[in-house]
Amino acid sequence: MNYQLLFLVIAGMVWYCDCITPASLDQTYEKGLKAYTEERWSRCIEKFEESLHIYRLYRSVEFNCRLKCNAVKFERRVEENIDDLQIYEAYFNKRNCINSCRKTGYAGVNLKSNPEEFYINAMQAKKPYGYLHICYHQMNMNMKAASAAYTYLVAHPDDEIMLANVKFYTEQPQVDPNEIVDYEGDDYVLLYSLGKESYEKKNWAETVASMEEVIKDYISSENICRVECERQPGQEWSSEFVITLSNNMASLLHCRQHCQDKLKIMKYKSGVEFLADILNYLQISYYNLEKNDLAAEAVASGLVLLPEDEDMLANDKFYTELTKKKATASRSDVEYYFKRDKYEKDLLRFFHKENKDKVDPDSTKK
């Protein structure tokens, strides 16, 4: 994934909403539900697929505006930071930037803004796929039905009914289990699989190419998830402004920390653990390519994430002797990721210090 590509996503999908009346996620989703209850299967497919397209447009506009306005350097009116007024000015500028960007962005793709909370939650929970797999099946499109059911299952791994549905589809003669895909899957998951296949075949150059992209795409995916956290419905309110602000900041940090849970795959407990393992694949591959400096850098980066890992410590000693360097600098992207993650966890511990009964253990775990 790449932030710069998000605008291209919007541009490439404008054709879909080339109409006089702005497309509405709410209305389109309701039309899909109505078609489903009336057993109008082709109409069900049409409207739920359309709702997915509209939601992608909505997310693209929102992400682009937040990313753009986070990056813009505004002209400063308050020269001295008296009573923290520069902070107030920064948020006023960002507010104006986001409102202006949204107005232009939604008009550019002919999309109605501000969907109701119910429909946003439904899209985030992958609810359309729960209906689509049945509609596909009724239209004898079992390959699509299998992938739709699997996409829903990824978001709801404990749903036993959907697990049974996926099993049912894999047993159908027209369904190849190897071709079932997660329609909402991130690129880094596929790249990780390709990298492991190359590693097992001892194709070191291909392993490096895949795993380097895994790191970039995973961090990008997590950053996009973190940007989505800036939308905080139902915020906690107090008559004391500072308390309200602090509670909402803590809620934002909790949401950002949970992005690692949302994106984790297979055995990994967190993004920190996942990136550390990818760096281990890289150090072995670089070593076999006789690129010892890059191998040492991968090890140093792994130790930033897991400083007490015995294998990494042994590898660090090995490369120190091999490269004759007392210390090897770690990768800047990994260093930044770790520091941000550590500081957020520290802030959440500090926030909950006097309210231990409210601590969310998942948000402060190492």
Give dist(CA 255, CA 227) in Å, integer: 10
Based on DSSP, count helices (H) and strands (E) in the chain, helices before strands.
Answer: 16, 0
Model pLDDT, residue 347: 93
Q: How many domains does the chain have?
A: 3
Q: Is 212 in the same domain as 140?
A: no
Count other C-beta atoms under 10 Å from residue 222's C-beta: 23
Model pLDDT, residue 266: 58
Q: Is 164 in the same domain as 94?
A: no
Give dist(CA 215, CA 335) in Å, integer: 13
- The DSSP bridge partners found for residue 111 are 23
Model pLDDT, residue 354: 67
Model pLDDT, residue 21: 82
How does pLDDT run along the chain (366 residues), one tens digit per residue? 444 444 444 444 444 444 468 899 999 999 999 999 999 999 999 999 999 999 999 999 999 999 899 888 888 888 888 888 988 999 999 999 999 999 999 999 898 888 999 999 999 999 999 999 999 999 999 999 999 999 999 888 889 999 999 999 999 998 999 899 999 988 898 899 999 999 999 999 999 999 999 999 999 999 999 998 988 777 777 788 888 888 889 999 999 999 988 887 756 778 899 999 999 999 999 999 999 999 999 999 999 999 999 999 999 999 988 888 877 888 999 999 999 999 999 999 999 886 665 544 444 443
Is 39 exposed, middle or buried (CB count within 10 Å of its CB: 0-12, 13-18, 19+)?
A: exposed
Q: Write phi, then psi, for 117 (nearest 5 degrees).
A: -55, -40
Contact call for residues 322 and 328 (beta carbons, < 8 A): no
Q: Is 155 in the same domain as 256?
A: no
Q: Please give the residue range of the domain that contains residue 227.
A: 190-364
Which residues make Cβ contacts (< 8 Å) with residue 314, sequence separation at least 6?
A: none
Give dist(CA 363, CA 365) in Å, integer: 6
Residue with the two structure tokens 């699509």: 144
Count other C-beta atoms under 10 Å from residue 83's C-beta: 9
Q: Is 326 in the same domain as 194?
A: yes
DSSP assignment of 226-289: HHHTT---S----SSHHHHHHHHHHHHHHHHHHHHHHH--TT-SSHHHHHHHHHHHHHHHHHHT
Contact call for residues 91 and 3 (beta carbons, < 8 A): no
> pTM for the whole thing?
0.78
Q: Is 293 in the same domain as 227?
A: yes
Which residues make Cβ contacts (< 8 Å) with residue 128, sequence separation at least 6?
A: 29, 32, 48, 49, 51, 52, 122
Q: Is 231 in the same domain as 253?
A: yes
Q: Is 93 in the same domain as 138?
A: no
> Could you tell me if residue 72 is inside a domain?
yes
Give dist(CA 291, CA 312) in Å, integer: 17
> Could you tell me if residue 184 is inside a domain?
no
End of a domain among 179, 198, 216?
179
The SS3 call for residue 3 is coil
Give dist(CA 238, CA 318) in Å, integer: 56
Q: Is 57 in the same domain as 94?
A: yes
Model pLDDT, residue 355: 63
Q: Is 99 in the same domain as 156?
A: no
Q: Is 118 in the same domain as 159?
A: no
Q: Is 220 in the same domain as 148?
A: no
Element (H, E) at 15: none
Contact call for residues 57 and 111 (beta carbons, < 8 A): yes
Orientation angle between helical segments 241-263 and 332-351, nearest 10 degrees = 130
Give dist(CA 323, CA 297) in Å, integer: 11
> Could you tell me if residue 326 is inside a domain?
yes
Q: Is 115 in the same domain as 134?
A: no
> Could you tell me if residue 185 is inside a domain?
no
